[in-house]
Amino acid sequence: MPLVGTPVPRLEAPDKVTGAACYVDDFALPGMIYGVTVRSPGPRGRIRRIRLGDGIPWEEITVVTARDIPGDNVVALINDDQPCLAAEVYNHAEEAVVLLAHRDRALLERARRQVHLDVEPLPPVLTIDDALAAREVIWGTDNIIKSYLVEQGDVEAALREADLVVQGEYETGAQEHLYIEPNGMVAVATPEDGVTVWGSLQCPYYVQKALMRLFRLPPERTRVVQLETGGGFGGKEDYPSMIAAHAALLSWKAGGVPVKIVYDRTEDMLATTKRHPSRTRHRTGLRRDGTLVALDIDFVIDGGAYSTLSQVVLSRGTIHAAGPYRCDNVRIRGRAVATNTPPRGAFRGFGAPQSLFALERHLDVVARAAGLPPEELRRRNFIRRGERLAVGQQVRDGVDLPALLERALQVSGWTERKNRFRQENQRGTIRRGLGLSCFLHGTGFTGSGESHLASTVALEGTAEGRVRVLTSSTEIGQGTNTIFSQIAADALGVGGEIIEVPRPDTAAVPDSGPTVASRTCTIVGKLIETAALSLRQQLLEEGLLPLPYTTGDFQAACAAYVRQRGALRATARYQPPPGIHWDEVRFRGDAYGAYSWAVYVAQVRVDLCTYQAQVEEFWTVQEVGRVVNPTLAAGQIEGGVAQAIGWALYEHVAWQEGRMANCRMTDYIIPTTMDIPPIHVWFEEAPYPYGAFGAKGLGELPMDGPAPAILNAIHDALGVSICRVPATPEVIYDALSREEALV
């Protein structure tokens, strides 16, 4: 019986419900000592001297500074501009400068407080406006890390000729991932045996690449092993390379003693990455009938002090900025700027939530200006199969956006509720509203990314007649292990009980790419499907497998093959779908192999006494290709919506001099059970031929749509347009009192 499409229970769940699962904080090696990090005191400055204070037995403590790095002092990623340890200058608060290790953690803490950094502060750049003004230049020649321009048609002419032009400015704040497991690593490193690290991470080969550069080691002597990982959301995409490097440097200097660094919550919040803050300006031209004739979009994200992944976050954000609509005249200028704040990194959605927030919020403003219901404006402008997105990509998916919209309106009881709220809102201090958003999310890496990655997976038959699925794709809660085993089992035509998905270890698995970009199921899964077919073919060609066959037959064939021929192994390597072309220079073409599409509806209640907005009910309708595991998929949608509700209403990072001031769970507010409403999940399935069993990307999609739907609902409830997230009660109060002042 096929497993794809069925709710196979999570494979590693038994370990998770019994406490047996081993996370980095649970992992220990004999003789292991602990490492801590001494960090920069302010947003920008020169390091004059490092002084070790009194009263500490320094001779017992391993002390590492930039001078101890055997190779290049960079965290290798894209531009290699981020040092592993600040040497002469620091460019953001809480930048790592000195590392200490000792077995006694209490002594280590005293020692940390006795490392004094004599510094000369320099004027910092702290906001997008400061960065663009470039009075202080902290990155390149103009503080601009990267810029992109998408252009089609003639925007200026179309705006001149439009019947109506509507402008708006939208802002989104930083967001902390707040995985419940803080970051951590254990390392053993010596010049003789190389470096091995174990830890909480999403992308084993990213960590390996960084360590190779730092220690000048070949890949075979740089081993990265993932441990059970307590949530990632992008927050364990690039920063684990930094912590792995720190732990390894300490171990290297301490003569190969295992070193563990686990951040506490405050350090994790202060030092690790956040979602990029953004500011988007829209100028939109329409015809009288509501047809969009011009979209002029200026999208800026704040990348923080080093470039990390900002350019790829920017490219996704830029491409998604025009949403699922057709428009002949589009100009999208995307820029990522540098500021003296801790570098921003990957976070579920990867730039798309920011630019889609601006667009979908703006379209409600536009609809009001045009005198159209928000759903009608969208309906009139939806892109259809065969038409081209702003980057010139022809839509090949079997998408039917009007049908998704109809379904969302129908399941949410849109019209009936709207009418009811209009009545009820006349009385009392509670206002209710409905809002919607329509959006898309590109599957896998942007542009030529997947071709450059050239991901590889391997399937291995064992002498016991079992099949091992070897990939570097990590289980971080989303269900990688389970869906991989479903895909492999179905492609092989066997039961799931003979499939094993070992934990990623760079010494044992091929590089199937990072666990990011909603690519695991669809792209890596497709490679598994391909490799499985090839493995099966080998058995068939050897005449070991009868047709039809049972799982038992397959096991026997597999065992026989290994006995007779040695290793049974099949690999598959990524090939782009036919007809896909991306022009990186002109930034045009097929940005993604496929898109997932969605319409979300939020019902919001605003209390005029406290100005608190709460989501009361949430409806999601999405087309994500084939759903491999409905329970896990629904879990992704519900979890993503919850995280996006947090971003929309609660999660405010309070910056003070470029440092997160509310760096505790008590003060950085994520939703509890009492803040998350019923979330309804509907999947439409239009199989995508180049994704595993028809699957498209899924994990990031639910992060894109909720914020604009929720703020549109607030607009509906209050008649006041709020153009920034998080829409905290303070923001809503300020907006209402501005409105009152105008009256």
Partner 1 sequence: MRFDVAAYKLRTPQSVQEALAWMAAEPGALRPLAGGTDLMVLLAAGKLPGGQFVNLWPLRELRTIEVTSDSVTLGALTTYSDVQAHPVLQQEFPMLVEAARQTGGWAIQNRGTLGGNIGNASPAADSPPALLCYDAELELRSAQGSRWLPYHGFHTGYRQTLLRPDEIIARLRLPRRRGQRLHCYRKVGPRQAQAISKVCFAGCADLEDGRLVSVRIALGGVAPTVVRCPETEHILAAATSPAALDEAAARASLSRQMAPIDDIRSTARYRRRVAENLLGQFVAVLRLHPGWATP
Partner 2 sequence: MSDGSGQQIDLHFVVNGQAVTVRCHPMARLLDVLREELHLTGTKEGCGEGECGACAVVMDGELVNSCLVPAAQAAGVQLRTVEGLAAGGRLAPLQEAFLHCNGAQCGICTPGMLMAAFCLLQHNPHPSEEAVRVALAGNLCRCTGYAKIVAAVARAAQEGGDAL
Does 675 interact with partner 1 (rule: CB under 8 A)? yes
Answer with the entry of partner 1, partner 2, none that 631 interacts with (C-beta below 5 to 8 A by kind): partner 2
How large is the C-alpha radius of gyration of the chain? 26
- What's the token pair of residue 240? 């684990």
742 contacts which partner out of partner 1, partner 2, none, CB within 5 to 8 A by kind? Answer: none
Residue 151: count of CB within 10 angstroms of its CB: 16
Question: Considering CB distances under 5 to 8 angstroms, the limit depending on partner class, which of partner 1, partner 2, none binds residue 612?
Answer: partner 1
State the virtual CA torsion across 75, 76, 79, 85 in degrees, nearest 10.
20
- Closest contact distance (angstroms) between CB of 184 and partner 1 is 13
Residue whose C-alpha is closest to residue 94's, from 218, 272, 229: 272
Interaction residues for partner 1, span 550-609 (CB under 8 A) = 608-609
Identify whether the C-beta of residue 436 lies closer than 8 Å to the C-beta of residue 712: yes
Q: Which does 231 bind (CB under 5 to 8 A by kind): partner 2, partner 1, none?
A: partner 2
CB of 681 to partner 2, least distance (A): 9
Q: Tokens at residue 194, please?
A: 């190389």
Smallest distance from partner 1 to CB 641, Å: 16
Is residue 89 a contact residue for partner 1 (CB under 8 A)? no
Q: Which does 537 bind (CB under 5 to 8 A by kind): partner 2, partner 1, none?
A: none
What's the closest the beta carbon of residue 515 comes to partner 2, in angstroms?
Answer: 12
CA–CA dist 506, 226 (Å, integer): 9
Shortest separation between residue 664's beta carbon and partner 2, angstroms: 6
Rounded Cα gap, residues 543 and 188, in angstroms: 47
Residue 141 interacting with partner 1 (CB under 8 A) = no
Contact assessment for residue 577 and residue 530, using Cβ atoms and an 8 Å cutoff: no
Instruction: List the one residue from 106, 547, 742, 743 that touches partner 1 (CB under 8 A).
Output: 106
- Going by C-beta distance under 8 Å and a sequence separation of 6 or more, which residues neighbour residue 96? 37, 38, 39, 40, 84, 85, 86, 242, 246, 271
Q: Which is nearer to partner 2, 327 or 642 (CB)?
A: 642
Instruction: Name the binder of 178 from partner 2, partner 1, none, CB < 5-8 A by kind.
Output: partner 2
667 binds partner 1 (CB under 8 A): yes
145 within 8 A of 338, measured Cβ to Cβ: yes
Coil, strand, or helix at residue 439? strand
- Residue 400 or 675 having the CB closest to partner 1: 675
- Per partner kind, with CB cut-offs from 5 to 8 A, the member of partner 1, partner 2, none near residue 730 is partner 1
Residue 189 belongs to what H/E stretch?
A: strand 184-190
Query: At a CB cut-off of 8 Å and minimum separation 6, what does 486 contact?
Result: 3, 4, 6, 8, 496, 628, 629
Query: Can you give 199-239 as a three-state secondary structure string?
Result: ECCCCHHHHHHHHHHHHCCCHHHEEEEECECCCCCCCCCCH
Q: What is the smallest separation between the CB atom of 633 and partner 2, expressed in angstroms?
A: 10
3-state secondary structure of 637: helix
What is the three-class DSSP state of 269?
helix
Q: Which is nearer to partner 2, 62 or 636 (CB)?
A: 636
Nearest Cα neighbor of 655 from 92, 37, 82 is 92
Instruction: In whole angstroms, give the CA distance from residue 104 to residue 656.
Output: 33
- Pick one of 266, 394, 410, 550: the residue that binds partner 1 (CB under 8 A): 266
Strands (E), 386-445: 430-442
Residues that bind partner 2 (CB under 8 A): 7, 9-10, 12-23, 25-26, 177-182, 228-233, 264-265, 476-479, 631-632, 634-635, 638-643, 664-666, 670, 672-674, 676, 678-679
Q: Which is nearer to partner 2, 482 or 530 (CB)?
A: 482
Footprint (CB under 8 A) of partner 1, residues 403-442? 429
How many CB atoms lie under 10 A from the CB of residue 372?
17
16 is in the binding site of which of partner 1, partner 2, none (Cβ under 5 to 8 A by kind)? partner 2
At residue 634, what are phi and psi to the nearest 5 degrees? -65, -35
**729 near partner 1, judged by CB under 8 A:** yes
Q: Which of residues 25-64 bind partner 1 (CB under 8 A)?
A: none
Q: Which is nearer to partner 1, 78 or 665 (CB)?
A: 665
Q: Rounded to the nearest whole angstrom, what is the least distance from the CB of residue 505 to partner 2 in the complex?
A: 19
- Choose the stretch contacting partner 1; rule: CB under 8 A; options: 141-149, 507-515, 537-545, 666-674: 666-674
Q: Please count the other Cβ atoms lying within 10 Å of the Cβ belonging to residue 584.
A: 14
Among 163, 169, 730, 739, binds partner 1 (CB under 8 A): 730
- d(Cα 499, Cα 521) in Å, to the nearest integer? 16
Q: Least separation, in Å, of the C-beta of 200 and partner 2?
A: 9
Distance of CA 446 to the CA centre of its chain: 13
Q: Does 109 bind partner 1 (CB under 8 A)?
A: yes
Which residues lie across from 87 on neighbouring strands? Answer: none
Name residue 196's beta-bridge partners.
Answer: 188, 223
Residue 650, interface with partner 1 (CB under 8 A)? yes
- Joined together, the tokens standing for residue 659 give 């440092």
Q: Is 467 helix (H, G, I), strand (E, B) or coil?
A: strand
Of 18 and 429, CB closest to partner 1: 429
Contact segment (CB under 8 A) with partner 1 among 135-143, 149-157, 179-187, 672-680 equals 672-680
CB of 464 to partner 1, least distance (A): 44
Task: Provide the minimum distance between the beta carbon of 662 and partner 1 in the complex, in angstroms, as a whole number.
Answer: 4
Which residue is it, tokens 């295992």? 258
* Cα three-residue angle 192-193-195, rounded to 5 degrees: 120
Q: Are 295 and 282 in contact (CB under 8 A)?
A: yes
Measuring CA to CA, which residue among 521, 481, 523 is closest to residue 500?
481
CB half-sphere exposure, 580, CA atoms < 13 A? 17
Nearer to partner 1, 387 or 667 (CB): 667
- Is residue 157 within the footprint of partner 1 (CB under 8 A)? no
Q: Residues 289-328: x/- map of binding to partner 1 (CB under 8 A)? A: ----------------------------------------
Size of site (CB under 8 A) for partner 1: 34
Least CB distance from residue 229 to partner 1, whole Å?
22
Give the shortest CB-81-to-partner 1 separation in angstroms: 31
User: Which of partner 2, partner 1, none does residue 550 bind to, with CB < 5 to 8 Å depending on kind?
Assistant: none
Partner from partner 2, partner 1, none binding residue 229, C-beta < 5-8 Å depending on class: partner 2
Selected from 664, 678, 738, 739, the binder of partner 1 by CB under 8 A is 664
Choose among partner 1, partner 2, none what residue 733 binds, the Cβ cut-off being 5 to 8 Å by kind: partner 1
For partner 1, the closer CB: 118 or 264: 264
Would you count residue 264 as binding partner 1 (CB under 8 A)?
yes
Pairing mode, if any, of strands 194-199 and 184-190? antiparallel
Query: Measured between alpha carbons, how far is 350 from 345 in angstroms, rounded to an integer?
Result: 8
Q: Are 596 and 386 in contact (CB under 8 A)?
A: no
Q: HSE on the CB side for 654, CA within 13 Å?
A: 11
The nearer residue to partner 1, 18 or 666, going by C-beta atoms, is: 666
Distances (CA, A) of 218 to 73, 75, 210, 257, 732: 17, 16, 11, 21, 55
Q: Would you count residue 611 as binding partner 1 (CB under 8 A)?
A: yes
177 vs 696, which CB is nearer to partner 2? 177
Among all chains, which residue has been given the structure tokens 């709020």? 722
Nearer to partner 1, 22 or 669 (CB): 669
* Residues at the contact surface with partner 1, assessed by CB under 8 A: 105-110, 264, 266, 429, 608-612, 614, 650, 654, 661-662, 664, 666-667, 669, 671-675, 728-730, 733-734, 737
